[in-house]
Amino acid sequence: MSALSRLCGQLLSVGLDGVAVPEELRARIASSAVGGVMLFRPNIESAGQVAALVRALREAAPDDLPLLVSIDQEGGLVMRLRGIATDWPPMLSVGGAGDAARTQQVGRALGEELAALGIGWDFAPVLDVHTNPANPVIGNRAFGVTPEAAATQALAFWRGLRAAGVVGCGKHFPGHGDTRADSHLELPVVTHEAARLRAIELAPFGAAAAAGMEALMTAHVLYPALDPDRPATLSRRILGDLLRGELGFRGVVVSDDLGMKAVADRYPIEELAVGCIEAGADHLLVREPVARQVAAHEALVRAAEARADFRARVEESAARVVALKAACTVPMPAPSAMLPSLLGTAAHRALAGSFKSAGTGAPAKPSPVAE
């Protein structure tokens, strides 16, 4: 595997089929053709099985480019480890309590359970502001109904994750809180003027950038006031000029899953992969199938071989991803015999149960985000 191919691999996190490591994925990890693996509900049966899976994934990677295993473990609707670790309430309940110290305790407890399983990257916290009760995909996943509350509480949760050695990822930039469509199913459009977007939607992301959050995830949403032609994930104006330039973000820009219909129905995976990196993303999520994962990697390699400017982007993004991995201090999974004492502890269950229900707005019928 060439050095350039390995660099391009650092720009990809992929999903897998089943509860054990497929041999073809093991080979791609060993050759650094992927930099991370994401876990979803179909990959999860029991605590011991998850620990064994994570260990096998991480041990397949070379020492110089370790693998980062990630998961969506927010609490509430989006909780891949439901029934395996502590079941946390929706973050609107946690943030609505108005106690940042207790929110940080939640983040740390959740992070400690991820660390026990060897999972080092949580796609959380949600930085969207819950301004639309009819939103079909965010709702009570948000920490607050004002930008100030959303920022304060989400950053407290993130600091808890970091105290547990887990790296976080704020989402969904530049704001998914007032959409009326689910980007898993179609392309949402947010029609607010730029002044409103800066005052409400962008404010928590600006706070996260200033605080040094390691990663931010893009939204597959069109914002005509910011870019009338391209959704945020593919917009140089939004990811480059706004996020990097105006907000000063220096961490890893992560695409939302490139299999979501908002973008997958409009662009082939090869165009998506190259276009996202050109726009300013650093790391791409491609859940499935294997053919799309491989096609994305090959498209990145071809573009980097053909164009010096694109190769420079690949090198820049790979360096950010390597720094993100270095920031993660999660060890290998704990032995199976220890997991019952580390997951769903009495203290964690008591903390989870101490929050009253706050607000509504979660989808009546869970979208694919919950799977």
b/e sequence 166-178, b meaning 16+ C-beta within 10 Å:
bbbbbbbbbbbbb
Active site residue 184: yes
Among residues 256, 257, 283, 297, which one is catalytic? 256
Residue 232 and residue 190 in contact, taking contact as beta carbons nearer than 8 Å: no
Residue 147 and residue 102 in contact, taking contact as beta carbons nearer than 8 Å: no
Among residues 130, 172, 176, 184, which one is catalytic? 184
Strand partners, 14: 37, 286
Residue 159 and residue 167 in contact, taking contact as beta carbons nearer than 8 Å: no
- Distance between CA 4 and CA 19 in Å, rounded? 31
Half-sphere exposure of 324 (CA within 13 A, CB side): 31
Active site residue 257: no
Residue 183 and residue 137 in contact, taking contact as beta carbons nearer than 8 Å: yes
Whole-angstrom distance between the N-terminal and C-terminal Cα of the chain?
Answer: 34
Please give the positions annotated as active site. Answer: 184, 256
